Amino acid sequence: MSMVISSGLPAPCSLLMATLMLLIVQAQSFTRHYNFNVQMANVTRLCATKSIVTVNGEYPGPALVAREGDRVVVRVTNHVAHNMTLHWHGVRQLRNGWADGTAYVTQCPIQTGQSYVYNFTVTGQRGTLWWHAHISWLRATVHGAIVILPKHGVPYPFAAPHMEVPVILGEWWRADTEAVITRALHTGGPSDVSDAYTINGLPGPLYNDCCAKDTFKLKVEPGKTYMLRLINAALNDELFFSIANHTLTVVEVDAVYVKPFTVKTLIILPPMCSSPPSRCIQRPTSTCRPLST
């Protein structure tokens, strides 16, 4: 016995309806194009200037923003003497593992003067991730945030914040990080420790007088909630994060929503991401200044 299910519509009408439904689904997603130029840039930290590897001359690098379901196309052109790959940390590479960016595993490195196009779709993820170089220790300066927003019309499963701010915790070396890791590999011993910890590439005022202006500051309004998209971009260190006289409510970890829980201090492992909204209770003229140790 067989069963036939009919829509009751003529075949041309059924085909038209199917086409319209497909167009509606496609209209909810976009293809987002990025051009990443890997290049050297002079950056001054801890009273000294040195040349570092960057993307588009920025340290940290530009944020990659997309919505769930979007296709992301990133053209990476290598203008430095080092081989390069970029890894989209935590992004589920479904049926396109060659876009993962792990050197000598899913692709050959991008050589000097060459380009490579990463092409992937963000599927079933919402929240905070990050991208970084995936060869040697170049990710010390070659990294940036990935912000995955919900689909259009889909709200957060928590109260929408007044503002969203990526906060990248990292490290700074006075020395060339490639020389640091090369020396460690040759000796078999541990690598040298960094000279400073940074928030969004800035070391803050705790190291010397030159750093007073190199401090990340976020001006806030009392009573408003701010979502801090925290990323640990340190090479090897677990980092602690807190805001004086405030609590943090964690709502998402590594692009997965979690049951909200409140803490005074977070420990963020390398390379982990988390999104805790914080409700500011300070005076209108004050600045919430996140501290890491």
pLDDT tens, residue order, the chain (293 aa)? 333 333 444 555 555 554 444 444 445 789 999 999 999 999 999 989 999 999 999 999 999 999 999 999 999 999 999 999 999 999 999 989 999 999 999 999 999 999 999 999 999 999 999 999 999 999 999 999 999 999 999 999 999 999 999 999 999 999 999 999 889 888 988 888 999 999 999 998 888 767 667 899 999 999 999 999 999 999 989 999 999 999 999 999 999 999 999 999 999 988 656 666 655 543 333 333 333 32
CA 285, CA 268: separation in Å to the nearest integer? 29
13 domain residue, yes or no? no
Q: Which of 96, 128, 153 is the last residue of a domain?
A: 153
The pLDDT, as a whole number, for residue 266 is: 93
The pLDDT, as a whole number, for residue 191 is: 86
Looking at the structure, tell me whether residues 198 and 112 fall in a common domain. no
Q: Which of 130, 153, 176 is the last residue of a domain?
A: 153
The pLDDT, as a whole number, for residue 209 is: 66
The pLDDT, as a whole number, for residue 205 is: 84
The pLDDT, as a whole number, for residue 192 is: 87
Question: What single letter denotes the amino acid at residue 256?
Answer: V
Task: List CB contacts of 230: < 8 A, sequence separation 6 or more.
Answer: 128, 167, 169, 241, 266, 268, 273, 274, 275, 276
The pLDDT, as a whole number, for residue 56 is: 98
Looking at the structure, tell me whether residues 122 and 179 fall in a common domain. no
Looking at the structure, tell me whether residues 127 and 207 fall in a common domain. no
Number of domains in the chain: 2
Looking at the structure, tell me whether residues 36 and 64 fall in a common domain. yes
CA 151, CA 148: separation in Å to the nearest integer? 9
Angle subtended at Cα 184 by Cα 180 and Cα 189, rounded to the nearest 5 degrees:
140
Looking at the structure, tell me whether residues 149 and 206 fall in a common domain. no
Q: Which of 127, 153, 179 is the last residue of a domain?
A: 153
> Which residue from 99, 291, 107, 101 is spatially nearest to 205, judged by alpha carbons?
291
Q: Which two tokens stand for residue 142?
A: 């070659």
Looking at the structure, tell me whether residues 177 and 75 fall in a common domain. no
Looking at the structure, tell me whether residues 41 and 111 fall in a common domain. yes
Read off the CATH number of the domain in which 286 is found: 2.60.40.420
- Domain, as residue range, for 239: 164-292
4 domain residue, yes or no? no
82 domain residue, yes or no? yes
